[in-house]
Amino acid sequence: MDNLADILELDDANGPPQERMLQILSEACRLFATRGFEGTSMRDIAAECGVSKATLYHYFPDKDAIVRPLVMGTTKAIYGQVSARIDPAAPAVERLRQFMVETATFFERHRWAWIAAASVFWNDPQARRRRQRIEWRDRYEALLRDILRDAIERGEFRPVDPSLAGRLVLSTLNWLPRWYDPSGPLSAAEIAEQFHAMIVQGFKPPRGRGAG
């Protein structure tokens, strides 16, 4: 089960998260992630949780009420967890490594919630919530671009375009939850570690060696 209690953004109306509520959210995000938001009904969620539809409706009036804490929660939590684990005194190249490894670790812990949130994002009917989500997402992406800009200023990186370089780094991370195999030989963090080394060093051999 996902560590959902750490990351949920519950409405005050929901009250403190209860075990049953967390179970519902956890099963729902696995269903949303694998069948899509539109492909999952309240009936499916109730069946998967082994509860009656009446019990389900006691906690959540509709699918939107289930998905809202997931979407806002994952977006705020990834910013909070990643930014808290970056050492501001470290060289920029090391901060980039921390950003990548912590993002991958977050994806590994909250894989279903993340895929569910990403796949429902465009279906979220609440535009205000969507704007809020974009603000938190922008904050997370700014974290990365600041590291890249700093790395270029200090001469740790070549003068690459920070915005496009940021897209490259985010792409390697954002695609990870879709192909990553939790039973494979490498953890998500180890993959991020290797991606970091590849991106920083490049594929070319060091000068003076090879045909490059």
Residues that bind a copy of itself (CB under 8 A): 34-39, 91, 93, 119, 122-123, 151, 154-158, 160-161, 164-165, 167-168, 170-172, 174-176, 179, 186, 191, 194-195, 198-207, 209-212
Helices 111-120 & 63-84 angle (0-180, nearest 10) = 120
Q: Among 123, 154, 153, which Cα is nearest to 32's?
A: 123
78 vs 165, which CB is nearer to a copy of itself? Answer: 165
12 vs 62, which CB is nearer to a copy of itself? Answer: 62
Shortest Å, Cβ 174 to a copy of itself: 5
6 vs 138, which CB is nearer to a copy of itself? Answer: 138
Shortest Å, Cβ 171 to a copy of itself: 4
Shortest Å, Cβ 177 to a copy of itself: 11
Shortest Å, Cβ 190 to a copy of itself: 10
- Whole-angstrom Cα distance, residue 30 to residue 90? 37
- Whole-angstrom Cα distance, residue 175 to residue 119? 13
Q: Among 202, 205, 203, 193, which Cα is nearest to 96's?
A: 193
9 vs 108, which CB is nearer to a copy of itself? Answer: 108
Shortest Å, Cβ 78 to a copy of itself: 16
Which residues touch 88 (CB under 8 Å, ≥6 apart)? Answer: 95
- Does residue 208 come out as left (phi exceeding 0), alpha (psi in the -120 to 50 range) or beta? left
How far lies 137's CA from each of 81, 124, 128, 144, in Å?
A: 13, 15, 14, 11
Q: Is 78 exposed, middle or buried (0-12, 13-18, 19+ CB in 10 A)?
A: buried
59 vs 195, which CB is nearer to a copy of itself? Answer: 195
21 vs 31, which CB is nearer to a copy of itself? Answer: 31
Shortest Å, Cβ 156 to a copy of itself: 5
The answer to whether 95 and 156 have CB atoms below 8 angstroms apart is: no
